[in-house]
Amino acid sequence: MMKEIFCKLLVIGAGPGGYVCAIRAGQLGIDTVIVEFGKPGGTCLNVGCIPSKALIHAAEEFEKTSHMASGKSPLGISIATPSIDLEATTAWKDGIVSRLNSGVAGLLKRAGVKTVHGWAKFRDGKTVEVQTETGMQVVRAEMVVIATGSAPVELPFLPFGGAVISSTEALALSEVPERLAVVGGGYIGLELGIAFAKLGAKVSVVEALPRVLAQYDAELTRPVVKRLTELGVEVLVGAKAKGLSSKGDALLVETGNGRNAKIAADRILVTVGRKPVIEDWGLEQIDLAMAGKFIRIDDQCRTSMRGIFAIGDVTGEPMLAHRAMAQGEMVAEIVAGHKRSWDKRSIPAICFTDPELVTAGLSPEEAKRLGGEIKVGLFPFAANGRAMTKMSEDGFVRVVARADNHLVLGIQAVGQGVSELSTAFGLALEMGARLEDIAGTIHAHPTQGEGFQEAGLKALGHALHV
């Protein structure tokens, strides 16, 4: 027998967008149900942001100790040759994920949200059927939020399975592959490629575009490209992956000059992007307007159907957990009758390569395209005392502002640990800071954050330390 639940708000998907939306709705006293097929937290918590940062940290620590074992550490530290048990590393990573899973489940419960485990399919715009372990459950809701997220793109000539893996499998390996070929030189491919290179794998990256990390400007990515060379990562740009060798032990590649090549590999990691999860949940039963392959939304995350909202990766770029979270919180407040709309000046993006990249707002090129004169201030970490003491002098902070009124349009940084500066960058843009605001804010010494103040001063024409 089908069980029926009635609620005011139904959220489909318990990733960062969905669970934040449900928690906020629950806090606001809205009768809320959330449906999730897997574990709470979605891709980000279970097979994305969190586990990849754990692996990246383990790789950094291993590389540091390997450097010390070589006797080349300028810190004067020498140790015996280290080894890594990737199974133990993975177990540690899984422990963190498990703690966060429980945390999200507990927050949903505390907010009074009912969680239904299963796969939701629309019957109509206000009704879904959920296949649970105990049978079919029908949920009827006044309003629905679609937060189904995204999944790795599979290449038809390199289907996932065996030696060909996605980021999900890469984060669950029990041993470090001897040779790893990475198809796609975007942020996911390079984050994981660099981590495995530090763990001892021989890594090759194949990128079809003329350079890796093509979504960032070349000045910003230069320190990362330099580091790839230092780590012995082979980078083939303007090259196309063609398929697997007949023995399954190599990646077939067409190089930039049209030649065919073979890259020997135990594992082939395909990271050519992510696609929205829009299949198998009854999209054909409801009539939503699309924007390409994504669900079209307005500035309040409303779809073309009344009472149906969509948030997060299923609605397109930027596919970032924090964007989904902000959208989820906003939608919950709209459902509660609050006046809210989406007017974000900045959604910072971080690439956890070595060194790290942060962008917020417009790059110099994007700002120039908008018309009008701009000022750019760049401060190198080579002139920063804290960066020197951390052996992290590569990189810089760069501020882009209008020349007439000094309104800050964008901030970028590349360097060790600069991900933590993203908060200051986002805050400055969201509050409409001018160069004088950044330059006039007393920054603590010695910190890498001082580079932000110095970049502001440089744009004003009177940097103090460079």
Is there a catalytic annotation at residue 445?
A: yes
By C-alpha distance, which of 211, 157, 164, 151 is closest to 186? 211
- The beta-carbon contacts of 24-28 under 8 Å, at least 24 apart in sequence, are 24/111, 24/328, 24/329, 24/332, 24/333, 25/111, 25/113, 25/332, 25/335, 25/336, 26/108, 26/111, 26/112, 26/113, 27/111, 28/332, 28/333, 28/335, 28/336
DSSP state at residue 407: B
Which two structure tokens, joined as six digits, stand for 308? Answer: 């149906």
Distance CA 51, CA 94 (A): 8
DSSP 258: S
Q: Which two tokens stand for residue 124?
A: 């109509």
> Any idea which residue has 């007393």 for tokens?
442
Contacts of 99 by beta carbon, 8 Å cutoff, 6+ apart: none
**Which two three-digit tokens encode residue 393?**
């002098």
Report DSSP state, residue 115: E
Q: Which residues on neighbouring strands pair with residue 121, listed in sequence order?
A: 129
8 Å CB contact between 25 and 114:
no
User: Using alpha carbons only, how large is the chain's radius of gyration in Å?
Assistant: 24
Task: Tell me which of 67, 406, 445, 465 is the catalytic residue.
Answer: 445
* Residue 123 · residue 285 · CB < 8 Å: yes
Q: State how far the Cα of 243 lies from the Cα of 262, in Å rounded to an integer.
A: 10
Instruction: Give Cα separations from 186 to 23, 214, 252, 369, 371 (angstroms).
Output: 33, 7, 20, 24, 29
Per DSSP bridges, beta strands 396-402 and 408-415 are antiparallel
What's the N-to-C CA distance of the chain in angstroms?
A: 74
DSSP letter, residue 314: G
Residue of 412, 418, 405, 414 lying closest to 374 (CA atoms): 405
Dist CA 446 CA 101 (whole Å) = 37
Which are the catalytic amino acids?
Answer: 445
